[in-house]
Amino acid sequence: MGFIRFVVLAITTLTLTQILSNQNTYNFTKICVNNETDASGRYSSLQQSMIQSSTAVGSLAASIPMTIALERYPKKFVLLAAGLVSTIATALIPLMESIGFIYFLIARVFQGVAFCVTFPMAGAVTAEWAALSEHGIFLAFLTGFSQLANIYLMPVAGALCASSLGWRAVYYVMAGSGLVFFTLFAFFFTDRPEEHRMISEEEKQWILNGRPEKPAKREAVPYKAIFTSLTIWGVWTSGFADILAIQFINMFNPQYLNDYLKYDVLNTGFLGAVPILVQWGFKIFAGISSDMMKCVSENIKIRVYNTIALALSAAFFILLSFIPNSQPTLCMVILVLTEGLIGFNTAGFNKCGTLHARQHAHFIMVMIVNIQSICILIEPFIVNAILTDNTSLQWAIVFWVHAVLLIGASILFLFWADARPAIWTSSLPQMQPEYTIEKADYGRDYGSTKPVIFDDVPEKM
């Protein structure tokens, strides 16, 4: 049948991973205090929060221009431009830091500019390159860049920080690998299967089979319908709670391991990657199993997987809050389970958004990027305001804050989720009226006689 779609999937995943790896560099290098010239040793808690959240400013500022660019120009060139900005900013950070704090902040802002294209690209590549039966696995890999970035970054950063090369080498290595990945992307990626010179006719037909004909004129995004859809709000609320927890992990995992559990910098780098590696493994498992499970409706599957990702991980956050740092091994085991289970989100709210919004999924993903940027912006200030002394009680409060948000979002998703195509995906075959804020009926689909949670959805539309 051919494998070009999976090569495209792999290369795109690598480029998205690199963009986030560049952005996350400071989350690890801030603990590199192995010499007196290290930047993190000179910055206050407020300044560190500003440095961590500054990438969100860049992402939010670039969100609208990048969204317009993704709609008007080939997505390949938009991602390449974003990647170039990210790579240059990353390479310049050691120099900017030596000049002054403000220049360091500016470079971090430019690192964040590229991030706003990541989730829209994940949605676009899934929509164009995945067969209808492969959406789960494509989303698992493409949204898995959130985990892969730290799986790649943390061991590399730990080894470099512990060596004579120091923290500056982390930025140079990330910039160098970025040049390699973006060059591969430039040579091999195309926006659509029909444009790829290496794809076979058989593989092309496999990808396109079952899709409706695309309208000659691009459809306008039905903003009002989207913003009044309870299903979409279920996706976004789950996304907020989930992403806030992920940003907590991305930003403060090194600090938890190094400052609280007292692991050295080298071990922090390698141990910090373990729970995220497990999370990525669960994400891939969730994507594959969700696609392969034909005996259960999509509406049930997205609820089950989302509950595992949010509510069950929240339970382990609560459990972790009761374990003292005198038991670092047990803390690590629970941390692995807590972070790992979040990986089931790919077959939960992420899949719900693409199945429900169909050809408008890119806008849903753009909003998820904005949500992620907001989470990056506020998370350092929330956590640093609590973690003034790194005490057990302070870490417990942080864990409980995230657990409550995860449980609340999980409950809302149970009532609001719907995997069926929305009525505003007008060019696609319709099954039932849309479940909206105006037409909500206490967890039931308007016009239906049974709860949405038990509705069957055909595997292929």
Write the pLDDT tens digit of every residue in 401-430.
999 999 999 999 999 999 888 898 865 444
Question: Which of 240-244, 249-253, 298-302, 376-380 is predicted with the least confidence, judged by mean pLDDT?
Answer: 249-253
219 inside domain: no
Is the pLDDT reported for residue 360 higher than 70? yes
Binning pLDDT at 50, 70 and 90, where does residue 216 land? low
135 inside domain: yes
Is the pLDDT reported for residue 449 higher than 90? no
217 inside domain: no
304 inside domain: yes
DSSP assignment string, 100-166 = -HHHHHHHHHHHHHGGGGHHHHHHHHHHHHS-GGGHHHHHHHHTTHHHHHHHHHHHHHHHHHHSTT-
Is the pLDDT reported for residue 454 higher than 60? no
First to last CA, the chain: 22
pLDDT in tens, 284-324: 898 888 888 888 889 999 999 999 999 999 999 999 999 99
Q: Cα separation of 380 and 172, whole Å?
A: 25
Closest CA to 378 of 216, 238, 251, 280: 251
pTM for this predicted structure: 0.76
The H or E element containing residue 60 is helix 45-72
242 inside domain: yes
**Which of 50-54, 107-111, 253-257 is most confident?**
107-111
Q: Count CA within 13 A, CB hemisphere, residue 75.
A: 22
pLDDT at position 188: 92
Q: Residue 452 gets which letter from DSSP?
A: G
- Residue 368: which CATH number? 1.20.1250.20
Q: Which residues pair with 229 in a beta bridge?
A: 436
Q: Calculate mean pLDDT across residues 119-130.
A: 85
461 inside domain: no
Closest CA to 118 of 18, 47, 218: 18
69 inside domain: yes
**Which of 37-51, 137-151, 242-256, 410-424 is most confident?**
410-424
In the block, residue with structure tokens 């994507």: 287
Q: Calculate mean pLDDT across residues 51-72.
A: 88
pLDDT at position 82: 94
459 inside domain: no
Q: 3-class DSSP state for residue 222?
A: coil
Taking each continuous run of H as one helix and of E as one strand, the counts in the chain are: 18, 0
Number of domains, the chain: 1
Residue 78: domain span: 4-211+224-454
DSSP assignment string, 40-56 = GGG--HHHHHHHHHHHH
Q: Calculate mean pLDDT across residues 337-358.
A: 89
